[in-house]
C-alpha cells in the first residue's frame, strides 16, 4: 500500500534532507489540507513524524497531532521521540492507531518487546534506519543518525521475532530524501528472510518506476514523502501502480 508521510516542525509541513535539521524544506500546505487530499486520493494509512518531539519529547506537537490522528478512513501511525511508556500511552490516548519507535527500539529492545506484548503487534511500528557499509553489514545508527549503536539489523530482529513484531519501517539512510531510487536489494533480502514482517520501504522514491521496482521485493507498504509534496507524481498514480491483491493482503495483519 502507499503510505503518505508528513514531517512536522512547529505544526508546519517540512522535509529534512537525510535527517539534517539544518537542511530543512518548508511547504506551504497545512497538515490538514495534505491529509484531506491524501484521504480523498485513496490513502488508507498515513505516517506522521513529530520532529519537535524527536528533539525534545516535552515539546511534542500534541495540538497539531490531535487534529489528524482520529481519522475515519485511515490508519494513522505517529513517531518522533518516543522514549518511555508514557509517550506510547499519550499517543495512543490521543488517537493514534500505531506508535512508531526508532532509537529506543535499538537501545532498549527488552523494553519495547514488553510494549509489543502489552499493547499488541498492531500498535507498534519499529522504525529502523539502516547504514550499509562496504562489506554489506547493516548497522542501525540512532538519534538522528548521529550515534553509532553498534547493533546490526539481524541481531536486533532476532530479539523481536518471538514477541510477534509485525510492522517495520525500514529506511536506507543513503537514499533518504534524495529522490534517486530505493534500495531494491535490501528490501528483497529482508522480505525473504523475515516474511512474517510487514515491511514499509522508505527513502529515495522519486518516480513511479521506483514504486514499480518494489513490487517484486515483497514489501507491504511504501512511504511517500517528498515525492508527493513536490508533485513528482500523484497519489492516485502511485496507488494505481500497486497490485490490488497486494494492497488487500497488506491491510490484513493479525497478531
Percent of the chain with pLDDT over 90: 72
CA 242 – CA 208 distance, rounded (Å): 10
Buried-exposed string 42-81: b where 16+ CB fall within 10 A, e elsewhere: bbbbbbbbbbbbbeebeebbeebbeebbebeebbbbbbbb
More confident residue, 230 or 150: 230
Whole-number pLDDT of residue 69 = 97
Whole-number pLDDT of residue 144 = 54
Percent of the chain with pLDDT over 70: 91
Instruction: Using pLDDT thresholds of 50, 70 and 90, give the confidence band for residue 245.
Output: low
Position 253 pLDDT exceeds 60: no
Which domains can be identified in the chain, with CATH numbers?
Answer: 2-251 (3.20.20.70)
Rounded to two decimals, the pTM is 0.91
Catalytic positions? 7, 129
Region 194-199 average pLDDT: 97
- Per-residue pLDDT tens over the stretch 204-241: 899 999 999 999 999 999 999 989 999 999 999 999 99
Position 164 pLDDT exceeds 60: yes
Instruction: Using pLDDT thresholds of 50, 70 and 90, give the confidence band for residue 16.
Output: confident
Whole-number pLDDT of residue 179 = 74
Identify any residues that bridge with 36 across adjacent strands, giving them in sequence order: none
More confident residue, 78 or 134: 78
The radius of gyration of the chain from alpha carbons, rounded to an integer in Å, stands at 17
How far is the first Cα of the chain from the last one, in angstroms, to the nearest whole number? 19
Region 12-25 average pLDDT: 83
Position 187 pLDDT exceeds 80: yes
CA 237 – CA 135 distance, rounded (Å): 37
Distance of CA 38 to the CA centre of its chain: 16
Position 151 pLDDT exceeds 80: yes
Whole-number pLDDT of residue 143 = 57
Amino acid at each position: 500500500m502507499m503510505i503518505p508521510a508528513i514531517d512536522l516542525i512547529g505544526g508546519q509541513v517540512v522535509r529534512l534532507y537525510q535527517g539534517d535539521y539544518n537542511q530543512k524544506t518548508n511547504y506551504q500546505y497545512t497538515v490538514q489540507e495534505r491529509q484531506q487530499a491524501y484521504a480523498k486520493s485513496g490513502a488508507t494509512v498515513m505516517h506522521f513524524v513529530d520532529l519537535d518531539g524527536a528533539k525534545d519529547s516535552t515539546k511534542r506537537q500534541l495540538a497539531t497531532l490531535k487534529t489528524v490522528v482520529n481519522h475515519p478512513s485511515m490508519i494513522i501511525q505517529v513517531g518522533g521521540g518516543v522514549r518511555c511508556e508514557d509517550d506510547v500511552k499519550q499517543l495512543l490516548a490521543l488517537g493514534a492507531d500505531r506508535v512508531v519507535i526508532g532509537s529506543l527500539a535499538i537501545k532498549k529492545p527488552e523494553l519495547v518487546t514488553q510494549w509489543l506484548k502489552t499493547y499488541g503487534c498492531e500498535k507498534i511500528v519499529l522504525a529502523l534506519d539502516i547504514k550499509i557499509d562496504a562489506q554489506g553489514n547493516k548497522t542501525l545508527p540512532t538519534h538522528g543518525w548521529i550515534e553509532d549503536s553498534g547493533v546490526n539489523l539481524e541481531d536486533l530482529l532476532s530479539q523481536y521475532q518471538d514477541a510477534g513484531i509485525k510492522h517495520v519501517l525500514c529506511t536506507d539512510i543513503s537514499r533518504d530524501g534524495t529522490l534517486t531510487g530505493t534500495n531494491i536489494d535490501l528490501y528483497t533480502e529482508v522480505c525473504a528472510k523475515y516474511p512474517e514482517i510487514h515491511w514499509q520501504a522508505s527513502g529515495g522514491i522519486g518516480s513511479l518506476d521506483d514504486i514499480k521496482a518494489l513490487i517484486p521485493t515483497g514489501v507491504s507498504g511504501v512511504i511517500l514523502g517528498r515525492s508527493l509534496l513536490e508533485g513528482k507524481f500523484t497519489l492516485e498514480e502511485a496507488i494505481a501502480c500497486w497490485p490490488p491483491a497486494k494492497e488487500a493482503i497488506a491491510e490484513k495483519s493479525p497478531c
